Chain A
């Protein structure tokens, strides 16, 4: 159990009993957990290397209780960690040891669906998959579909600006959120979201719980396409697959999804769920096309031609809905499958321009050999969003240390290719040091001040998302680019 917090964010000295008593005054007993045994399920999220025991877990039933909870904790200066499904892969929902976990588990209602306008209003604790289930009778669906969709919540998706397989065509969470109801640090409630003019919504989406707690949101629904076709192409070299992705994008085709799996991922998920992937292939591409029949047919012939030009060794279309689901099941189960290849795995989330795919995949391969660890690749290729999965045994401190250094080296490679340290999993507690490299001191100052504009006492998810200036000044621990600290000209304190 690694404590993810540095000293400078452990500065909230409220007495535990005092906090519990204050919360007990506004929350019924069924909404408050204070016993460590009962809080164990809340001590970590989807990145289990980090964990901490909170002071309490509050599970309000309604917005009034939630707002009162925030008001009291804000008055007392107690950290609050909002929690949806607890599936964050960057430690975003890891508790603060001096703070309270605020669970949205009881915000579960889909308020309304307006089929004509293709809108849905739902509470933030609604599971992602439940949105599409509710929309299905109207011939509609909620497009952002993270692989964790049966467990993650709408609020967590908004907080992380989550993506998914179908975001290539239909956009990320951002592109599908119209407005949100935000409870601010002091308990006040603000409906946020304008078509034009001053609008704080872009700051809120992707803010990792640092600016407020989302209790409800209006989201866009999309029509379920009349025709869907999934192609699976195999390659004898991963660079060919990378080049094929770039070619499909360059041809102006926007597949609904375009995913790449490398050899290790193919073998792992095939053993796990027998999706019928070609075992000998060094890479496969899963390319889904949707729309009306004629459009899909036109796109399919164009994609098939491009795949051939880029030396695909085979190309198969799923013959029916059952086979399509089967092809996808291997992709969606890639992470659990990784869990069977090694005791632990560590999933990275770098984002790069698509033209750099082949090159960066080569670099990752070389880095893996250098650090003596296996890296499996399964990712949103059409978006240029890499998910190198480092396989390791985390109980071995040497492997864990190597894995973290390898992860950092991979993210450096992404930055060097003109990319970003995180495409969809967020910074959380995990990528704070890398933030020092992606942003200048002044840029980080503005981001920190923006947080304070929403949360002056810094009680919302402190120690996440944004590194303190001190942390970066001390060298940002891990990330040294080209043997040089970022901004060597700056004074360190």
Chain B
């Protein structure tokens, strides 16, 4: 529970002087930065809630704050983060969740991680502490640097403090299961949403469609009556968030696939979310990439969940480099991330040349 801004900034400035890269770590729950070069920059101690205005539904929090702690504090005021970011085995910091930018099963209905971000204090690759956005709901002064940082995995700056919009915990909720195949499930779920039923999450586990309804008690009861299905205990949502069951229980970390069009069926031990736009596929053994590309379809994205992400698509490479030049010109922070082979090759050649 301490403000380590000065220490972090100093550490980055020193790294610049010595031209030694730093790799960022919150809880290290995913180990993404394990594969990157350089000294560790540990952020878990930079933690604590700075302000929480329950009446405003806004919280400002240091990046190292554990998600579990933050959510417990919010729950005491009957509030929560809208995006239900995954927290593998209960670990993970809010800074890590925002840096990764991956939302949970509620994404199509309650918004993405970026959607909830209002402002940020960050420390860029030269150790400068900068502030963008704020604690207000609407703010269009300057480019939206705050949301740009989300998902970039700290490669433009260390996310020191985050201001986030909250939602009230629903008065009532219920989880329903329906035995149907994937195309049926996607059609049904989409239709219910379009009819206005308060669907707040969906998942298909290969056998059945599971949905979560939230809202006022009468609204949820009425939806439950109308939609039918069998009532479930809702444990599946925790299992998903904690990444413990289904595809996460396989021998290896699962594939994560962002598909533009939903597949008609899934391999065993897979989960389909976001009405078909997000898939987790269990991995029992190495290989199988080709099948995954096929599942993802054209313009889809395939990666191993929790591993170092692949380079940014070729069309972004030049722009990425120019933006990196602005925010981290010496490539100190999470070096090499998002860059393509050409960059890595030129870099290693340069290193050979300069001894």
A117 on interface, CB distance cutoff 8 Å: yes
- Whether A225 and B327, one on each chain, are in contact in the complex, defined by CB atoms closer than 8 angstroms, is no
Closest to A90 in B: B140
Say whether chain B's binding surface is mostly helix, strand, loop, or mixed: mixed
Q: Are A202 and B101 in contact (CB under 8 A)?
A: no
Residue of B101, B138, B194, B195 touching A196 (CB-CB under 8 A): B101
Query: Which of B13-21, B126-134, B174-182 is the interface stretch?
Result: B126-134
CB-defined contacts of A233 to chain B, threshold 8 Å: none
A190 at interface by CB-CB < 8 Å: yes
Q: Number of residues in B with C-beta < 8 Å to the partner? A: 76
B141: shortest Cβ distance to chain A, in Å?
Answer: 5
**A200 touching B136, Cβ below 8 Å:** no
0/1 string, A63-104, CB within 8 A of B gives 1: 000000000000000000000000000000000000000000
| A195 and B258 within 8 A (CB) | yes
Interface residues of B in 117-135 (CB under 8 A from A): 124, 128, 130-132, 134-135
Q: Of A355, A380, A442, A444, which contacts B53 at CB under 8 A?
A: A355
Assess the B135–A353 pair: CB atoms within 8 A: yes
- Asked whether, in the complex, the Cβ of B142 is within 8 Å of the Cβ of A202, the reply is no
Cα-based distance from A404 to B135 in the complex (angstroms): 26
Query: Could you say which residues of chain B place their CB within 8 Å of the CB of A443?
Result: 130-132, 142
Q: Does B315 contact A (CB under 8 A)?
A: yes
CA of A207 to CA of B197, assembled, Å: 35
User: Known: A196-B100, A198-B338. Is A442-B137 also a contact (CB below 8 A)?
Assistant: no
Within the complex, the shortest CB–CB distance from A292 to chain B, in Å, comes to 5
Chain B positions within 8 Å of A175 at CB level: 111, 115
Q: In the complex, which of the residues A171, A297, A435, A442 contacts B142, with contact meaning CB atoms closer than 8 Å?
A: A435
Q: Is the CB of A190 within 8 A of B319?
A: yes
What residues of chain A lie closer than 8 Å to B153, measured between beta carbons?
197
How many residues belonging to A are interface residues under a CB distance threshold of 8 Å?
84
Given A353-B58, A422-B140, A426-B140, A442-B130 contact (CB < 8 Å): yes
Q: Is B72 interfacial (CB-CB < 8 Å)?
A: no
Task: List CB contacts (< 8 Å) of A196-226 with chain B.
Answer: 196-200, 202-203, 205-207, 211, 223, 225-226
B304 CB-CB contact with A under 8 Å: no
Distance of A442 Cα from B124 Cα, bound (Å): 11
Tell me, in angstroms, the Cα distance from A421 to B323 when the chains sit together.
Answer: 26
A424 touches B148 (CB 8 A): no
Q: Smallest CB-CB separation from A414: which chain B residue?
A: B136
**In the complex, A249→B79 CA distance in Å?**
12
> Bound state CA distance, A202 and B146, in angstroms?
8
Residues of A within 8 A of B101 (CB): 196-197
* B216 interface residue per 8 A CB criterion: yes
Cβ contacts A to B, 12 pairs, < 8 Å: A118-B194, A190-B316, A194-B301, A195-B301, A197-B338, A223-B196, A225-B196, A292-B197, A294-B218, A298-B219, A418-B134, A446-B124
Given contacts A118-B193, A422-B139, 19 further A-B contacts (CB under 8 A): A117-B190, A174-B147, A195-B278, A196-B100, A197-B151, A199-B152, A202-B114, A203-B143, A226-B196, A252-B79, A291-B215, A351-B136, A353-B136, A380-B138, A425-B140, A427-B141, A443-B132, A446-B124, A453-B322
Chain B: residues with CB nearer than 8 A to chain A?
53-58, 78-79, 100-102, 111-112, 114-115, 124, 128, 130-132, 134-148, 150-153, 155, 167-168, 186-187, 190, 193-198, 215-219, 221-223, 258, 275, 277-278, 301, 309, 312, 315-316, 319-320, 322-323, 325-327, 338
Closest 9 CB pairs of A and B: A252-B168, A202-B147, A423-B138, A250-B55, A298-B216, A295-B219, A453-B322, A420-B139, A294-B218
A residues with CB within 8 A of B: 115-118, 139-140, 160-161, 163, 167, 171-172, 174-175, 190-191, 194-200, 202-203, 205-207, 211, 223, 225-227, 246, 249-250, 252, 254, 291-295, 297-299, 351-355, 380, 383-385, 418-427, 431, 434-435, 438-440, 442-444, 446-447, 449-454, 465-466
